[in-house]
Amino acid sequence: MTPALLSLLTACQTAPLKYDQIQEGHWESRALIRDQQEQRSFIVNLSINAVKNEKLRVDATSTLGAHLASLVLREDEVRYLLPGERRFFFGAARPEAMIPVISVPMSPSYLHNLLFEQPITEGDWLCERDSRGYLTVCQSESEGLKISWQDRSQTARRVLIEHERAQVQVNLTSFQEQLESRAELFELSPPQGFRQFRLR
């Protein structure tokens, strides 16, 4: 094998995955949340399943494995539960729905853009790509929100979400191009004894 061919094969094996060409998958990640309003920082583990622009589920656990939250997004409806507070929320997928989960008021639908690296095209959002076609940053002045993609390596990458209320660093450490095999993966109902709240 010639040095040139070996170099080409190595480059192909190590090139970061183009997530905008993926239709569904399961991510494992760890998020560092710096909540400016509450003046605290904490780390959560995130298990994420998503079908591009259709449905999504996020399960958050502490570093010790305690269940902190679960969120399901289907079209324009979001549902999430907070086991520690025994509360269940459901209703319109508005930015405020994300505050209990990641401390940032961000439209839940942006999670699809974040995972599948799709430009956000609504409102005053502006996005940029690098010379290889990878999305690098999306920013909205009116929403005070900036999302950037960094440190790509094969299937891993880091996503930074910045807002005056909080900064979230999501390290997406592993990816499988298939959903978790779980019954009713994208269903979320209130467990017995949980108080229910409608989001408007």
Q: What is the pLDDT of residues 142-156, one digit of tens each?
A: 999 999 999 998 899
pLDDT for res 14:
66
Domain boundaries, the chain: 21-179+186-199
Q: pLDDT: is 2 or 134 the higher one?
A: 134
pLDDT for res 5:
34
Q: What is the pLDDT of residues 14-57, one digit of tens each?
A: 678 999 999 999 999 999 999 998 899 999 999 999 999 999 99
- The CATH class that applies to domain 21-179+186-199 reads mainly beta
Strand order of the sheet with strand 40-51? Answer: 126-129, 135-140, 145-153, 156-162, 166-176, 24-35, 40-51, 55-61, 67-74, 77-82, 87-92, 195-199
Q: Is the pLDDT of residue 9 over 90?
A: no
Q: What is the pLDDT of residues 63-105, one digit of tens each?
A: 999 999 999 999 889 999 999 999 999 999 999 888 888 899 9
Report, as an integer, the average pLDDT of 124-140: 96
End-to-end Cα distance, the chain: 63
**Arithmetic mean of pLDDT over the chain:** 90
Six token digits for residue 10: 């190595």
**Please, are residues 81 and 69 in contact by the beta-carbon 8 Å criterion?**
yes
Q: Is the pLDDT of residue 195 over 90?
A: yes
Residue with the two structure tokens 């599948």 = 116
Q: Is the pLDDT of residue 139 over 50?
A: yes
Q: Is the pLDDT of residue 13 over 90?
A: no
pLDDT for res 142:
96
pLDDT for res 42:
93
- The contacts of residue 77 (CB under 8 Å, 6+ apart) are 90, 91, 92, 93
pTM of the model: 0.88
pLDDT for res 101:
84
Residue with the two structure tokens 């699809």 = 112
pLDDT for res 11:
42
pLDDT for res 10:
40
